[in-house]
Amino acid sequence: MVVLFVLATTSFAATTETFYGGYSNVATKGSIVVELTNISSKKNVILSETEAEVYFDDPTETLNMVVAYDYDEDEEITVRDILEYYNNNGGVPTYYADTAPVVVTAKTALSTFYFCYKGDIPATYEPKFYSFEEYVYDFENKQTYTEPPEDWLLADGTSATLSEPGKYFFIFVDDGLVSSSFPGIFCLHIGDTPSETPVPVELTKITVNPTTSKVLVNGKIVEFEAYNINGYNYFKLRDLAQAVNNTEKNFEVTWDAANNAINLISNKPYTPSGGELAKGDGKAKVAIPTTSKIYKDGREIFLTAYNINGNNYFKLRDVAKTFDIGVTWDGATNTIGIDTSISYVE
């Protein structure tokens, strides 16, 4: 069972915010990137279908609207499906602006840039287009068009300027080149007048349970304090660094407090800080998304991480892919294998 809590912090000044959705990996935070201006705060909201009605003229029709197709499951994806997915993963990102206008701009190519509002939408929509053929086969020389070609994608730079107070609901689908990429949604609330007290920004807390799998590192049993989060195994970053230390895939971990940043350095022995590979107590813990930036060899990368009891836990496969470490799974014996002598396989 996943239990949701919230931890409130305060955002003070209007600023530009960036929404990430869709497919992500170690190099890309999201295949859907959208920028919003004039935002005062943000929080994740568990949004029921009844509560979602405030955004739609016809809630039943909109919730049943087909937005994308899941080729892995061979089925259509509706707005209802996307809403359920976000609610099961911490809630729908909701942005707040004290006053209009707010400009919402695509920073990546999209196949869908959809937004709705109960009543006539007080917005100026300015689409830009790519030729799909140029985008796929001649990317470096692709042109941006103001009128859609025969086969088109929405180009980065497509924008909507929202000029009136109200509650808006946005749906995005990426360029379609990654068939398993999931659509992205967020809500936007624009107030009538500036608020005296900014809306809190909430970090979602979840209760997580220890991983029950046995772990072998280069054939030897190693005990980790690891946790299962949303179906994936998350390991303490420093434990992983210690476990592969003095191998051909070792890496250093350092902390930059001034910049709230984690630095990962390839092919360098790990320097223990104390407490690595300590045995856990087998009890559930509370996890909070890590807000620190992450750098590998001086270049920023994007990995999903959680803070549990003051330590950063990363998805095992993300770290393994970052450093080309082999990961295997034996379902019959419930065993995870970490092998530095082989390469990572997706």
- Taking only the tens place, the pLDDT of each residue in 217-269 is 999 999 999 999 878 899 999 999 999 999 999 999 999 988 889 999 999 99
Cross-strand bridge partners of residue 65 = none
328 neighbors 337 (Cβ within 8 angstroms): yes
Phi, psi of 8 (to 5 degrees): -95, 135
Mean pLDDT of 188-200: 64
Task: Name the domain boundary from 190, 224, 257.
Answer: 190
DSSP code, position 60: H
Indicate if the pLDDT at residue 213 is higher than 90: yes
pLDDT band at 289 (very low <50, low <70, confident <90, very high): confident
The confidence band for 77, taking pLDDT boundaries of 50, 70 and 90, is: very high
Give CA angle at 280 (276, 283), nearest 5°: 150
AA letter at 229: I
Residue with structure tokens 């294998």? Answer: 337
Rounded CA gap, 170 and 163, in Å? 15
Please indicate, yes or no, whether residues 166 and 257 belong to a single structural domain of this protein.
Answer: no
Q: Do 339 and 245 fall into the same domain? A: yes
Q: According to the model, what pLDDT value does residue 205 have? A: 81
DSSP reduced 3-state for 58: coil
pLDDT at 196: 46
DSSP at 258? G
Domain that holds residue 139: 15-190
Per-residue pLDDT for 53 more than 70?
yes
In-domain check, residue 100 = yes
Q: What share of the chain in percent tops pLDDT 90?
A: 70
Minimum mean pLDDT range among 57-61, 195-199, 243-247, 284-288: 195-199
3-state secondary structure of 247: coil
Residue 148 pLDDT:
95
Kindly state whether residues 211 and 330 are assigned to the same domain: yes
Specify whether the CB–CB gap between 43 and 9 falls below 8 A: no
pLDDT for position 25: 73
Domain boundary among 144, 160, 190: 190
- Decide if 219 is inside a domain: yes
Please give the order of strands across the beta sheet that includes 159-162. Answer: 15-21, 32-39, 102-106, 159-162, 123-126
Q: How many domains does the chain have?
A: 2
Q: Give percent of the chain with pLDDT exceeding 70.
A: 92
Which pLDDT does position 203 carry in this prediction? 56
Confidence of residue 324 (pLDDT cuts 50, 70, 90): very high
In a domain, 199, yes or no: no
| Co-location of 179 and 41 in the same domain | yes
- State residue 179's pLDDT score: 67
Q: Give the span between the Cα atoms of 25 and 307, in whole angstroms.
A: 19
Cis peptide before 127 (omega within 30 of 0): no
Residue ending a domain, among 157, 190, 223, is: 190
The verdict on 144 and 22 lying in the same domain is yes
Q: Is residue 8 part of a domain?
A: no
In the predicted model, is pLDDT for residue 27 greater than 60?
Answer: yes
Average pLDDT value for the chain: 89
Inform me whether the pLDDT recorded for 84 exceeds 90: yes
Q: Are residues 117 and 237 in the same domain?
A: no
* β-bridge partners, 327: 338
If you ran DSSP here, which 8-state letter would residue 79 be given? H
Where residue 1 falls among pLDDT bands split at 50, 70, 90? very low
pLDDT digits (tens, 9 = 90+) for 110-153: 999 999 998 888 889 999 999 999 999 999 999 999 999 999 99
Enter the tokens of residue 261: 């940043």
Domain check: are 141 and 212 in the same one?
A: no
Residue 161 sits in the same domain as residue 246: no
Tokens standing for residue 188: 């936007």
Map 83-102 to HEC letters.
Answer: HHHHHCCCCEEEEEECCCCE
Residue 258 and residue 147 share a domain: no
What is the rounded average pLDDT of the residues 304-317?
A: 92
pLDDT for res 7? 34
49 falls within a domain: yes
**Average of per-residue pLDDT across 161-166:** 92
Whether the Cβ atoms of residue 161 and residue 66 lie closer than 8 Å to each other: no
Same domain, yes or no: 119 and 26: yes
Residue 60 lies in a domain: yes
Q: What number is the average pLDDT over the span 301-323?
A: 91
Q: Does any domain span residue 7? A: no
Predicted pLDDT at 13: 59
Question: Is residue 128 domain-shared with residue 262, that is, in the same domain?
Answer: no
**Token pair recorded at residue 338:** 């970490």
Do residue 186 and residue 254 come from a single domain? no
Residue 215 lies in a domain: yes
